[in-house]
């Protein structure tokens, strides 16, 4: 079992252990992506260019990112009993992800996401959750053995909040590290009487600026703003907060202070899935025994590389590719 990250930001170099075990409880979607010259305003039609389909969903993206980063990954999810679900299962098998706890839902279709990406790589996304909304606490209980044997559990908020809560509680009871990517943040922010109790079960929280604003009510427009929001989230119970700040890199905030990790220079093509690449890679390195700061460096590089390719899961890079990038190789 991996050591839970402490509230100290000190990182000591250490040899990597064998591949750690990561359990991911979350969503899986098929992404329908349109390239547009610019993102439309409300009520506006913008003529687009290329159209493509990609495998996505925050849970699935993070599971794939963790697997490519070298972890042994078990995915707990629901897919529709439809051709889209079959395509997604085939992708998971190709990545070597354990699929024993993926339920085929007879009542709802597989989830889909509609994505527009502009010429600068920025995007807007609408999600039709489908079977993801039926992922239940009972599904988590059925996978309790996998959660108990994992080094780290990864959750997001595209599945029902009671399911997320059950997963975090089960993992903490088993002594696993827990990572929550609070995306989308709305469901957690709306659970005003519950979110502090939930955050107390989270060892590593990975919000972006928008999610941090929703959760704390504080503006996050600068690095100093992010530090203040981080302290608010620590007060609410999170063990460590790692902000994903897009072109500004990442910021770690914990009881020992804060550290900024600048973004690594790349030519952006599509930012879809970059935050998921970060969270999945971060989980994989923590599961393998990396100190938190070392894991953030690796995750920052994985996220940077992901924006150089189109799509979500298709944009994820292997551990070897990320390590070459960190060593100074040209990512192209």
Q: Is 225 helix (H, G, I), strand (E, B) or coil?
A: helix
Give dist(CA 326, CA 280) in Å, integer.
Answer: 17
**Which H helix or E strand runs over 149?**
helix 144-149
Give dist(CA 269, CA 41) in Å, integer.
Answer: 21
DSSP assignment, residue 237?
T
Give dist(CA 147, CA 131) in Å, integer.
Answer: 21
Both tokens assigned to 68: 């490519």
Catalytic positions:
276
Return all residues near 19 (Cβ < 8 A) that are at least 6 apart: 70, 71, 72, 287, 288
Q: Is 155 helix (H, G, I), strand (E, B) or coil?
A: strand
Q: In degrees rounded to 5, what are phi and psi of residue 82? A: -145, 170
257: left (phi over 0), alpha (psi -120 to 50) or beta: left
Buried (b) or exposed (e) across 259-273, using 16+ Cβ within 10 A?
Answer: bebebbebeebbbbb
Residue with tokens 């938190």: 292
């Amino acid at each position: 079992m991996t050591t839970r990250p402490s509230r100290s930001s000190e990182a000591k170099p250490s040899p990597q252990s064998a591949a750690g075990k990561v359990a991911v409880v979350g969503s899986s979607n098929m992404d329908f992506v349109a390239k547009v010259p610019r993102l439309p305003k409300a009520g506006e039609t913008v003529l687009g260019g290329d159209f493509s389909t990609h495998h996505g969903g925050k849970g699935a993206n993070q599971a794939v990112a963790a697997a490519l980063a070298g972890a042994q990954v078990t995915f707990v999810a629901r897919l529709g009993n439809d051709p889209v679900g079959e395509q997604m299962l085939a992708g998971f098998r190709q990545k070597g992800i354990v699929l024993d706890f993926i339920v085929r839902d007879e009542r709802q279709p597989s989830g889909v996401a509609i994505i527009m990406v502009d010429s600068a790589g920025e995007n807007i996304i609408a999600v039709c959750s489908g079977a993801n909304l039926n992922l239940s606490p009972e599904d988590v209980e059925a996978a309790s053995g996998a959660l108990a044997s994992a080094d780290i559990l990864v959750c997001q908020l595209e599945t029902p909040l009671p399911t997320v809560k059950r997963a975090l509680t089960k993992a903490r009871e088993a002594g696993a590290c827990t990572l929550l990517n609070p995306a989308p943040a709305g469901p957690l922010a709306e659970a005003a009487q519950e979110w502090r109790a939930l955050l107390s079960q989270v060892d590593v929280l990975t919000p972006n600026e928008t999610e941090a604003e929703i959760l704390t009510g504080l503006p996050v427009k600068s690095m100093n703003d992010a530090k203040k929001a981080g302290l608010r989230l620590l007060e609410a119970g999170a063990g460590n907060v790692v902000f994903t700040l897009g072109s500004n890199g990442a910021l770690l905030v914990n009881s020992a202070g804060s550290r900024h990790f600048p973004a690594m220079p790349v030519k952006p093509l599509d930012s879809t899935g970059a935050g998921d690449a970060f969270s999945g890679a971060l989980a994989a390195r923590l599961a393998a025994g990396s100190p938190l700061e070392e894991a953030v460096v690796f995750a920052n590089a994985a996220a940077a590389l992901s924006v150089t390719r189109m799509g979500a899961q298709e944009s994820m890079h292997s551990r070897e590719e990320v390590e070459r990038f960190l060593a100074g190789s040209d990512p192209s």
